Each structure stands twice: as structure tokens, then as C-alpha cells.
Structure 1
Amino acid sequence: MEGASKRDVLSHLSQLEVQTRSRRNQPQQHYRVKELKAKVEALMLQRDQLKAEIHILKSLHKLRSSLDHQRDGDEDEAMEVGSENSDLLRLMGKHIQLRDLRHAHHLIGGYDVVKTKRGRGACLSLPTAYEGVCLDTYNLEIDLKPAVRINQHNIPPFIPLSSLAEQSDLQSDLRGFLDALSRHLNAFAGRKQQLKLVKEQHKSVDVMESNILCSRLVLMLTVPGEKQAVLCVLEYTDHTRCLPTRVHFESNDEKLPDSALWTTNCSLFLETPVHKALTAMKKTGFIV
């Protein structure tokens, strides 16, 4: 009886040990599930973007085919859809042709140029855009004779205009200078637009800090459940890009920033525009 009693006690202790291990693994499994959900959300975001691009390309191909039929004399067949759709088709066709011309203009390095001072100078326009939305346009007036030099401009003072001019030989490589300047302006416009979208789309996220160059951004995020606050600091040290080069989190819970869960979120911010990264985190329940 004593031997049986010992076996019962050992069996009971073994069951308790198994239950304890199971409870310890549950939080790890929970975090692992959330980590996988975050990865899935990021992949779904990329998938939706690719689907949208494919849909646009298919639509453009269909429109161009219809326009080719019109030019080949099959206009009556193309117009069977009705006069309203036909007018819309013509307008869209013209829009596509103009956009293609504009794209080709930029591919060959073309900038909008107006001659000034009877040919001794030129005024160049440098437009900026982000995700297909046209933003600010900047102007640069240069003297061409007797030597190429910058005269007047409305480039923001925090853009390193003089440094870019020194790095490029304006006399022989004006195109290189303009391309570098355009990259800086478009990257700044993109970061600025992302900040605007964060404020418009994510009311629960507090923008604690941002500078005029939009090269540093501090956001206050709220973790659901205990309503724990997390500071998200994004630094953009490469001023020719719209994505941050460094992301780190700060929290009262010192273990949180280094957890596998938030390491995934860090990668998400490094690879995705900030407003889209926040949307993905909300969908997976990381933040409110």
C-alpha cells in the first residue's frame, strides 16, 4: 500500500509539472501567434498593392487596344457601348497619352525649363509627388552665361543645395545635380505627406515630436488591454528616402522593445510607410 501511495504521489507531481510547463508555453504561443499575424498582414498589404497595379495595367492595355481599333477603322464596333462611354474612352485615352509623354520626358532627364535673360539664364521647375499625388513644385533659376551658377530659388533652406552643387560640377553635369536635388525634394515631400496621413488616418496615435525636415518622428502608441503606452521613434538619416533608417521603441516595460513581437513591428516600419505600418498594427491588435 505504501509503494502504491508513493506511485500515486509521483504521478500527481508529474501531472502538475506538465500543467506548469503548459502554462509557461501559453504566453510564448500567444506572442508567436501575434507575430505571425503581423507578418501575414504585411504580406497581405503587399499582395493588395500588387493586385491594384495588375488591375491598372490590365485596364490600360484594354483601353489602348480599344484606341488601336478606332485608329484601324473599327470605330463603329468600339462605339457600340454608347456615346457617353465613347467620350469617356477618348478622354482616358488622351490622359494616358499625355501621362506617357510626361513619363518619357522624365526618363530622358527632362525638366520643365523656361529661358530667361534672353537665353543667358533658365528657370527650372522641379515637381514633387508621393504615391501618385502631386505635391509642391519648386523653382530654380540659374545663369548659363558666362558660367553656370545658381541665381534664385525657393528650395527649402534645410535642403543641402550648396552641398549638392559642390558635389556635382554644374558646368559639365547639371543633370546629375538636378537629379540629386529632385531626390532630396521628393523624399522630403514623401515624408511630409506620410506625417499628414498619420494625423488624418490615426487619431488614436499622438505625434509627440517631428522636425521641419521630417527626419525624426516620435509617436505615442497605445497597447490594448492594460492601455500601456509605447514611444515609437523613427529616424530618417538618409534624406533621399521616404523610409526610416532606424526604428526603436521605449516603454515602462523594459522587456517589451526587445521582444520578438515588437521586433517584427520594427521591421514593418523599416519596410512600409509609417501610416500603412500603423494600419497593419491596428488590424492585428498590436495598438488601439
Structure 2
Amino acid sequence: MEGASTKGVLSQLSLLEVQARSRKSRLHQPSRVKELKAKVEALRIQRDQLRAEIETHKNLEKLRASMDKQCSQEEEEEEKMDDYSENSQLLQLMARHTQLKDLLYAHHIVGGYNVIRTGQGKGLCASLATAYEGVYLETYNVEIDLKPRLRISRHNVPPFIPVNSLAEQSNMQTDIRCFLDTLSKHLNAFAGRKQQLKLVKELHKSVEVFESNVLCSILVMLLTLPGEKSTVLCTLNYTDHTRLLPTGVHFECKDNALPDTPEWKKNCSLLMETPVHKALMTMMKNETIL
């Protein structure tokens, strides 16, 4: 009888515990529902923001593509801006801003060379101007694809200057500025040597140019000596194609001892250290040659 009473009490206590938990759960349920509703609303707001950003990005891409195709009509488009809605004007400015940022970045990485965009932003064209003694000469252009990797697509550099080899040697993939600097040195040195050859022919009528090549890396001249009017064959070698000055000078004449005289050793140093047309002028003033 006592055992049955004890079981009845335990059963009653268990029932009361279950009822208490149920009431507690019902008390917390409204706050849980409220919490979930707030989370859903926050996610909905985040979704709407992402949709707006995606739409803005799409509009920017369309505008940038349009601007790349119609750069020549940029002034006319700016005049029509007054007719656009406020949102369209903002998008136009944002697109122009990102375009200018890209151009400034490209200008920075190529070391200040003149650069224009090509292929709707998929490439760039760098212009390399050459000059000698303050006179601008030829300008060469190199068009480079940016994706999927840097690649020279077109150029008007003379074929005897190894553009692709220079790109590999200077590791264009990681340092495009180094490549353009190296190429610019080759082009300016070539333009300078070519200009010197032209000045020799124009300023020194008594000097006969026997031989030269398209790279102007060799120059053979016949120099006339005063007095008996004997001649000296002078050969200048430009083995360093990034330099304006020769790396070697060689004299040939009937008098084998002449090249070893102090005067002609001085002439040899002069030709090694001075542009050839100026060196010849000095030699004429010193009455070494006619």
C-alpha cells in the first residue's frame, strides 16, 4: 500500500514537471518568433542591397564598353548629359572614374610612357619616341594584350631589333616597365647612330662612307690625310646595341706604324668617346684629316 502511494506521488511530480516545461516553452516562443522575423527581415534587406549592387555593376560595364567604343564622341556625349536622369549621370561619372583609374594605373606600371587602351580595355598600346641631341625622330608603337597573360600582339619596331627576345630577357610578365625601358634604349641608340651617319654624310663631304648596315652597328669610312693625301680606312664597331658610341675602333693604312702614333691613339680615344660626326670635326680642326 505504501509502495503504491509512493509511485502515485512520483507520477504526479513528473506530470507537474512536464507541465512546467510546456508553460516555459510557450512563454519563450513569442520572443523566438520575433527573433526569427528580425533575422528574415535583415536577410531580405541584404538581398535587396546585393541586387542593387549587381545591377549597378552591370550598368557600369555597359557604360564602359560604350565609352570605349565611342571615345571620339566623348565631347558630344558630355553635352547630352543634361538630358539624362540623375541616376544615369551618376553612373556615367562612376564609369568614367574607373576608366581613368585604369589608365592612370597602366601609365604608372609602364613608367610614364604614353599609353592608350585597345580592344575595349583588353590591351594597351605604348608609344616610344626617339630623339637625338634634342631633336625628336621616329616614334614606335607596341601593342600588348593583357589577358590571359601579357603578350605582344603588334608593333612597328624595325625587324632587326629582337622585340620578343627583349620581352623574355626582361621578364615582361612581372616587370613590363623593364621591358619598355630596354626596348627604348635599343630604339634610341639605333636612332642616334642612324642620325650620326646622316650628319657625317651631310657635314663631311671629304669623308667617304664605304659601308654601313641597317642597324648602323658598323661604319666603315675612308679618311683623307693632309700632305700627300694618303688615306686611312676607319672601322667603327657598335657591338653594344644600346649605346650611341662605338665599342671598337680600327685603322688601316699603308703606313702600318700610323695607328700606333700618339696622335692616332688620341684619335682612337676621341672616336670611342665622342659621336662620330663631332669627332671628325675635331680631327679636321686639328688638321689630322682633310
Q: TM-score range by the shorter chain?
A: 0.5 to 0.7
Tell me the CA shift for residue 199 of structure 1: 0.3
The aligned amino acid for 1:269 is: L
Structure 2 partner of 1:236: 238
TM-score, normalised on structure 2? 0.62
Report the aligned-residue RMSD.
1.3
Long gaps (5+) in structure 2 = 1-106
Structure 2 partner of 1:178: 180
The aligned amino acid for 1:120 is: K
Tell me the CA shift for residue 149 of structure 1: 0.4
- Cα deviation code 1:79-98 (max 9, x no counterpart): xxxxxxxxxxxxxxxxxxxx
Tell me the SS of whatever aligns to 2:183: helix
Structure 2 partner of 1:192: 194
The aligned amino acid for 2:154 is: Q
Structure 2 partner of 1:212: 214
2:151 to 149, 152, 158: 149
**Aligned residue pair count:** 183
2:280 to 278, 281, 284: 278
Tell me the SS of whatever aligns to 1:118: coil
TM-score, normalised on structure 1? 0.62
- Cα deviation code 1:196-250 (max 9, x no counterpart): 0000000000000001000000000000000010001000000000000000100
Identity %: 68
Q: What is the alpha-carbon distance in structure 2 between the residues aligned to residue 152 and residue 160 of structure 1? A: 13
Structure 2 partner of 1:120: 122
Q: What is the alpha-carbon distance in structure 2 between the residues aligned to residue 129 and residue 273 of structure 1? A: 14
Tell me the CA shift for residue 259 of structure 1: 1.3
| 8 A Cα contact 2:170 2:182, kept in partner | no
Q: What is the alpha-carbon distance in structure 1 between the residues aligned to residue 116 and residue 161 of structure 2? A: 23
The aligned amino acid for 1:152 is: R
The aligned amino acid for 2:152 is: I
Tell me the CA shift for residue 253 of structure 1: 0.7
Tell me the CA shift for residue 257 of structure 1: 1.2
Tell me the SS of whatever aligns to 2:120: helix
Moved over 6 A (4+): none
Long gaps (5+) in structure 1 = 1-104
Tell me the SS of whatever aligns to 1:109: coil
Tell me the CA shift for residue 110 of structure 1: 0.5
Q: How does 1:39-118 map to 2 (within 5 A)?
A: 109-118=111-120
Q: How does 1:243-254 map to 2 (within 5 A)?
A: 243-254=245-256
The aligned amino acid for 1:112 is: N
Tell me the SS of whatever aligns to 1:200: helix
Structure 2 partner of 1:130: 132
